[in-house]
Amino acid sequence: MQHVITAAPVTQDVLDGLFDALRAIGQTIMAIPAANEKRRQIEVLNSMTDSQLAARGLRREDIARHVFATGAL
């Protein structure tokens, strides 16, 4: 009695799909620190008084827009 094991060859499409998935995972992991920094900046600005925000030329409702547009305090 013979046993024959066959395996389909891995095609370039399969490899490309795998690499694309791994690349997407890597990009997501790399984006986490930037997102955490933006969240921290928003928390710092939200903790300020309206007078302090005004001194920076900001209104409370513009904090998120400001952080995501400039990325800085």
**pTM, full prediction:** 0.60
Give the tens place of pLDDT for each residue, 6-63.
776 778 888 899 999 999 999 999 999 989 999 999 999 999 999 999 999 999 999 9
Q: Is the pLDDT of residue 4 over 90?
A: no
What pLDDT shows up at residue 9?
75
3-state secondary structure 1-69: CCCCCCCCCCCHHHHHHHHHHHHHHHHHHHHHHHHHHHHHHHHHHHCCCHHHHHHCCCCHHHHHHHHHH
Which pLDDT does position 34 carry in this prediction?
Answer: 87
Q: Is the pLDDT of residue 2 over 80?
A: no
